[in-house]
Amino acid sequence: MEDAKRRPLIGISACRSAEGIHPFNRVSEKYILAILDPTCGIPIIIPAIQDMGSEIDHSDYIDGLLLTGSPSNVRPVEYSGTPSVEGTKHDIARDKTMIPLIRRCLQKKIPILGLCLGIQELNVACGGSLHQRIFDLEDKFDHRMRRDEDDHAKRYRPAHNIRITEGGLLNKITGEEEVNVNSLHAQGIDQLGDDLTIEAVAPDGIIEAVSFKNADQFALGVQWHAEWPRPIRSFNEKIFRHFGKECRSFAENKKLSLLDV
């Protein structure tokens, strides 16, 4: 295991939700475990509190940013979209915290890995837009998880294949050209954000992975849940290990980190 002093600090996006009368900031343990191994980083939970007037800039100390999946959807106001269908779940606090943070991380060249909702946040932060309900689109299949499955193994099982762009970042990291992935999302990328390039697509044409064009900036978003099942000896493990490598490189080149204070 890596020496703790050399392990990068990796921020993990939290979601705000209510339990009874109290609001909570939550992160599923599977994301924390993925940062501990195989990423080999120190997980730091970033609360969704920017809507409260917080002036904390988490990009001042993190060495990487993991954008987690979530039951919520990015609000259309963030990308000038049409109003959501009534009942659509949103997390205003997360939108107001993470989208500006993504932009600051891009400015500072802090490595970013986005999963499921995370790829959508990355796209919106770069000026792109989203399909709000892929399952309502003609010639697109339903990318949502199976509602009749309570078992995690079945819910997160591979749902469809993706075609990976030859010579792209994801292809170089994994060495793969086509793989099967899970699928648990209703939204998806519509208009591609500025400075992003397509890394993988589903058989129906939905964008499944993107990266930042600037070679000096590692920012990768994938539409599937690469963290589950735990990424051990797999295609997804290669993604997390490369993310960890990028975070360590950033930490080593940074003049000041939280561990030095």
228-244 pLDDT, tens digit each: 888 877 899 999 999 99
Domain count, the chain: 1
Q: pLDDT tens digits for the chain (261 residues)?
A: 445 557 999 999 999 988 888 999 999 999 999 999 999 999 999 999 876 767 789 999 999 999 999 989 999 999 999 999 888 899 999 999 999 999 999 999 999 999 999 999 999 999 999 999 777 768 878 667 665 566 666 777 887 899 999 999 999 999 999 999 988 877 999 999 999 999 999 999 999 999 999 889 999 999 999 998 888 778 999 999 999 999 999 999 985 544 455
Q: What are phi and psi of 163, to 5 degrees?
A: -105, 120
Model pLDDT, residue 215: 86
Q: Around Cβ 67, how many Cβ atoms within 10 Å?
A: 29
Q: What is the CATH number of the domain that holds 214?
A: 3.40.50.880
87-101 pLDDT, tens digit each: 889 999 999 999 999
3-23 pLDDT, tens digit each: 555 799 999 999 998 888 899
Diameter of the chain by CA atoms? 55
The residues assigned a catalytic role are 116, 225, 227
DSSP secondary structure, 169-219, as one string:
HHHHHH--SEEEE----S-EE-SPPTTEEEEEE-TTS-EEEEEES-TT--E
Strands (E), the chain: 9-13, 15-19, 22-26, 42-46, 64-67, 112-115, 130-131, 160-164, 178-181, 188-189, 196-201, 207-212, 219-222
Range of the domain at 84: 4-260
pTM > 0.85: yes or no: yes
Residue whose tokens read 């205003």: 92
